[in-house]
Amino acid sequence: MPRSTSSPSPKGGPVTLAMVARRAGVSPQTVSNAINSPELLRPETLERVRGVIDEMGYRPSRAAQALRTRSSKLIGYGIQPVPGGDTAPVMDRFLHALSQAADEAGYRMLLFACPPGGPSLEGYEELLGQHDVDGFVLSNTARQDPRQAWLAKRGVPFVGFGRMWSGRQIGDWADVDGASGTDAAVEHLVALGHRRIAFLGWPRGSGVGDDRAAGWQRAMRRHGLPTRGRRAESAGDVEAARIAVKPLLDAGATAVVAASDTLALGCYHALRERNAVPGRDVAVVGFDDSPIAGILSPSLSTVAQPLEAVGRECVRLLLARMANPAAPPERVLLEPSLVVRDSTPVPGSDAPAL
Partner DNA sequence: GAGCTTGATTTGAGCGTTCCAAATGCATTG
Partner DNA sequence: CAATGCATTTGGAACGCTCAAATCAAGCTC
- Tell which one of 4, 6, 11, 14 touches DNA (CB under 7 A): 14
For strands 255-258 and 283-287, give the pairing.
parallel
Stretch that binds DNA, among 31-39, 203-211, 262-270, 340-348 (CB under 7 A): 31-39
Q: What x-and-dash track marks residues 44-83 binding DNA by CB under 7 A?
A: -x------------xxxx--xx-xxxx-------------
Rounded distance, CA 156 to CA 162, Å? 18
- Which residues are bridge partners to 198 per DSSP? 256
42 binds, among DNA, its own copies, none (CB under 5 to 8 A by kind): DNA
Residue 139: CB atoms within 10 A of its CB come to 20
Q: Which helix (H) or strand (E) holds 113?
A: strand 108-113
309 binds its own copies (CB under 8 A): no
Rounded distance, CA 233 to CA 266, Å? 12
Backbone phi and psi for residue 154, each to the nearest 5 degrees, phi listed first: -75, -10
166 binds, among DNA, its own copies, none (CB under 5 to 8 A by kind): none
109 binds, among its own copies, DNA, none (CB under 5 to 8 A by kind): its own copies
Rounded distance, CA 336 to CA 181, Å? 6
Smallest distance from the beta carbon of 153 to DNA, in angstroms? 20
- Tell which one of 30, 72, 99, 299 touches DNA (CB under 7 A): 30
Closest CA to 178 of 77, 39, 306, 320: 306
297 binds its own copies (CB under 8 A): yes
Closest CA to 50 of 40, 38, 62: 38
35 binds DNA (CB under 7 A): yes
Q: Which helix (H) or strand (E) holds 287?
A: strand 283-287
128 binds DNA (CB under 7 A): no
Contact set with its own copies (CB under 8 A): 5, 7-9, 14, 59-64, 66-67, 70, 72, 74, 79, 81-82, 84-86, 88-89, 91-93, 95-96, 99-100, 102-103, 108-113, 125, 129-132, 153-155, 238, 262, 265, 269, 272, 290-292, 294-295, 297, 354
